[in-house]
Amino acid sequence: MDRKVLVIKRLKGCGRMKRDVSIGIDIGGTKIVAGLVTVEGEVLYKQIVPTATEGKEQIIFQLQQMINDLLKEAHKLRLPTLKGIGIGTAGQIDFKNGIVRSGTSNIKDWNDIPLKHEIQRLFGFPTWIDNDVNVVALAESYLGAAKGYNNVVFLTLGTGIGGAVIQEGKLLHGEWGGAAELGHMSVDRNGPACNCGYKGCLEAYASGTGIANQMKRMLRKNPELYDGQIENITARDVFQWASEGKQFAKSLLDKAIDALAYGTVNIIHAFNPSLLVIGGGIIDQHSWIITDLQNRVRSLGISSLVQSVSFKKAAFGDEAGVIGAAYQSFLYSQNVQKEGASNEG
Ligand SMILES: [Zn+2]
């Protein structure tokens, strides 16, 4: 099996530290990131490997190898006993029982896995597992853009659209952990089919995949607009054409942001947040969307609810997943209270 470690980061001079440290693991469709993370959100050491494509057993084997490496590194760095292991992964995660219920089409065979118990059995550390956007919300909430806010909604715009909700200072999990699938909220019952099986989902309009698919549909209907390979079009092309002033691309993005605005108003009506944090690959490239979205949202919906919401860009980039995953240990092992964490740094 491919065990190529893509990036290793080591922070020098962190020996004999007194701060709490835990292992954070972010399992995505293309890569797994695992790191030693301090309670302040500093990543002392990390490894990145391409996610195994053979199925769940291989992925669990990869996790095992990475955790072994991290434990060796923690020993070398003379870190204090680790608080635990926190995992964030795409898919519908049974947070209460530590089970990956149904995964994502991006990770083969990623369902019905009692991952929490498997990792606890192998390593003996208390282990937590949650949805990848939920753990990003923890990182942003305790250390990033949402620090000091108690009612926050998170949206990540990337290949798909992810969501998480912090209500009264706590992650909203629902009955078992499946709450806040905000990307699969429909904004049009006659809208395009989404790969989740529903229709007109926000993700089908405003995610990278949704934008690309809509453009492909538009160009198949209007072949005179484009003479290249329609199948190869990506969201990046659509943004590029819009920036060059091509009207068909501008109007498609306008429709995507409009769908996002209606979806956001629905979310605000449901959760009454004081802050909306938006991140993800699309926002990293095109942060102007946040201001545009905010202006549209304020002209729609119930004024007392929509007018008072602040909009912010996510503070963490790539490492949000690994930091937030680790943060579960600090939070749920009850050695760190929300207040304590918020007041630090
Ligand atoms: Zn959907």
For the chain, domains (ranges, CATH) are 6-139+318-334 (3.30.420.40), 148-313 (3.30.420.40)
Please list the residues that pair with 9 across neighbouring strands.
46
Q: Ligand 1 centroid vs 204 CA: distance in angstroms?
A: 7
Provide the annotated active-site residues: 132
Q: Ligand 1 centroid vs 168 CA: distance in angstroms?
A: 27
**Alpha helices by DSSP H, 11-114:** 56-76
Q: Ligand 1 centroid vs 227 CA: distance in angstroms?
A: 31
pLDDT at 10: 60
pLDDT at 104: 76
Q: Ligand 1 centroid vs 162 CA: distance in angstroms?
A: 11
pLDDT at 336: 40
Q: Which amino acid is at 146?
A: A
Average pLDDT for runs of 10 along the chain of length 345: 59 61 94 96 95 93 97 93 95 95 83 96 97 97 96 96 96 96 96 92 96 96 94 97 97 97 98 97 95 97 96 94 96 59 36
pLDDT at 338: 42
Q: Contact at 8 Å (CB) between 34 and 51?
A: no
- Residue 302 burial by Cβ neighbours in a 10 Å radius (0-12, 13-18, 19+): exposed
Q: Which amino acid is at 37?
A: V
pLDDT at 318: 86
Please list the residues that pair with 127 across neighbouring strands.
85
Q: How far apart are CA 274 and CA 339, in angstroms?
A: 18
Q: Which residues touch 144 (CB under 8 Å, ≥6 apart)?
A: 41, 277, 314, 315, 316, 320
Q: What angle do CA 249, 253, 256 make, to 5 degrees?
A: 145
Q: How far apart are CA 178 and CA 196, in angstroms?
A: 14
